[in-house]
Structure 1
Amino acid sequence: MFVPLKGSWALIFGVSSGMGKATARALAEAGCNIIGVHFDLAEGRQQAEQYAKTLGELGVEAHFFNLNVAAKQSRAELVPVIGDLTSGVGPRVILHSVAYGTLTSLLPTQDGQEAEVPGVTPKQLTMTVDVMGHSLVYWIQDLVRAELVPRGAKIFAMTSAGGTRVLSGYAPVSAAKATLEAHVRDLAVELAPRGVAVNAIRAGTTVTPALQKIPGSEKLIAHCRDINPGGRLTRTEDVAEAIVALSCTDSSWLTGNVIGVDGGEALVV
Structure 2
Amino acid sequence: MADETALHDFPSLFSLKGKIAVVTGGSRGLGLNAASAFLQAGCATVFISSRKAKACDAAVAQLNALPSLAPGARAIAAPADCSSLAGVRSLVEQVRRHADHVDILFANAGATWGEAFDTHPDTAFSKVMDLNVRGVFLLAQQFAPLLEARATRDDPSRIIITASVAGLSVGTLGPQATFGYSASKAAVIHLGRNLAVELAPRHVLVNSICPGFFPTKMANGLLALTGGVDRHAQANPAGRLGRPEDIAGAVVYLASRAGSHVNGAAIEIDGGSLWSRGGLFEANAPEPKL
TM-score interval for Structure 1 and Structure 2 normalised by the shorter chain: 0.7 to 0.9
Q: Give 1:12's match in structure 2, choosing from 16, 23, 40.
A: 23
- Cα 1:223–1:171 change in 2 (3 A) is farther
Amino acid of the residue matched to residue 148 of structure 1?
L
Q: Are residue 153 (structure 1) and residue 152 (structure 2) matched?
A: no
| CA distance in structure 1 between the partners assigned to 2:141 and 2:85 by the alignment | 12
| CA distance in structure 1 between the partners assigned to 2:271 and 2:146 by the alignment | 37
1:138, distance to aligned residue in structure 2 (A): 0.4
Contact 1:187 1:198 in 2 (8 A): yes
Amino acid of the residue matched to residue 29 of structure 1?
Q
1:266, distance to aligned residue in structure 2 (A): 2.6
Corresponding residue number in structure 1 for 2:191 = 183
Structure 1 unmatched runs, 5+: 109-118
Q: Which secondary structure does the structure 2 equivalent of 1:197 belong to?
A: strand
1:157, distance to aligned residue in structure 2 (A): 1.0
Alpha-carbon displacement from aligned partner over 1:75-129 (angstroms, at most 9, x marks no partner): 222313323423x2x2221111113232223x23xxxxxxxxxx22222111111
Q: Which moved more, 1:148-157 or 1:31-40?
A: 148-157
Q: Are residue 224 (structure 1) and residue 195 (structure 2) matched?
A: no
- Cα 1:63–1:268 change in 2 (3 A) is same
Contact 1:14 1:20 in 2 (8 A): yes
How many residue pairs get aligned? The number is: 254
Percent identity (aligned): 24
Q: Which moved more, 1:55-64 or 1:215-224?
A: 215-224
Corresponding residue number in structure 2 for 1:94 = 105
Q: Give 2:94's match in structure 1, choosing from 81, 86, 92.
A: 81
| CA distance in structure 2 between the partners assigned to 1:31 and 1:196 by the alignment | 20
Corresponding residue number in structure 2 for 1:120 = 120
Structure 2 unmatched runs, 5+: 1-7, 278-290
Corresponding residue number in structure 2 for 1:116 = none
Q: Are residue 37 (structure 1) and residue 36 (structure 2) matched?
A: no
| CA distance in structure 1 between the partners assigned to 2:14 and 2:217 by the alignment | 33
| CA distance in structure 1 between the partners assigned to 2:223 and 2:215 by the alignment | 14
Corresponding residue number in structure 1 for 2:69 = 58
Corresponding residue number in structure 2 for 1:173 = 181
- Cα 1:3–1:225 change in 2 (3 A) is closer
Contact 1:55 1:62 in 2 (8 A): no
Contact 2:29 2:216 in 1 (8 A): yes
Contact 1:196 1:252 in 2 (8 A): no
- Cα 1:203–1:39 change in 2 (3 A) is same
Contact 1:224 1:265 in 2 (8 A): no
Contact 2:213 2:241 in 1 (8 A): yes
- Cα 1:45–1:81 change in 2 (3 A) is closer
What TM-score, normalized by structure 1, do the two folds share? Answer: 0.84
Corresponding residue number in structure 1 for 2:256 = 248
Amino acid of the residue matched to residue 253 of structure 1?
H
Amino acid of the residue matched to residue 137 of structure 1?
F
| CA distance in structure 1 between the partners assigned to 2:91 and 2:102 by the alignment | 13
| CA distance in structure 2 between the partners assigned to 1:192 and 1:41 by the alignment | 33
Alpha-carbon displacement from aligned partner over 1:204-236 (angstroms, at most 9, x marks no partner): 211112223448753374443113232211112
- Cα 1:195–1:128 change in 2 (3 A) is same
| CA distance in structure 1 between the partners assigned to 2:108 and 2:86 by the alignment | 19
Q: Which secondary structure does the structure 1 equivalent of 2:65 belong to?
A: helix
Contact 2:14 2:253 in 1 (8 A): no
Amino acid of the residue matched to residue 20 of structure 1?
G
1:253, distance to aligned residue in structure 2 (A): 3.0
Q: Which moved more, 1:130-139 or 1:168-177?
A: 168-177
1:70, distance to aligned residue in structure 2 (A): 1.4
What TM-score, normalized by structure 2, do the two folds share? Answer: 0.78
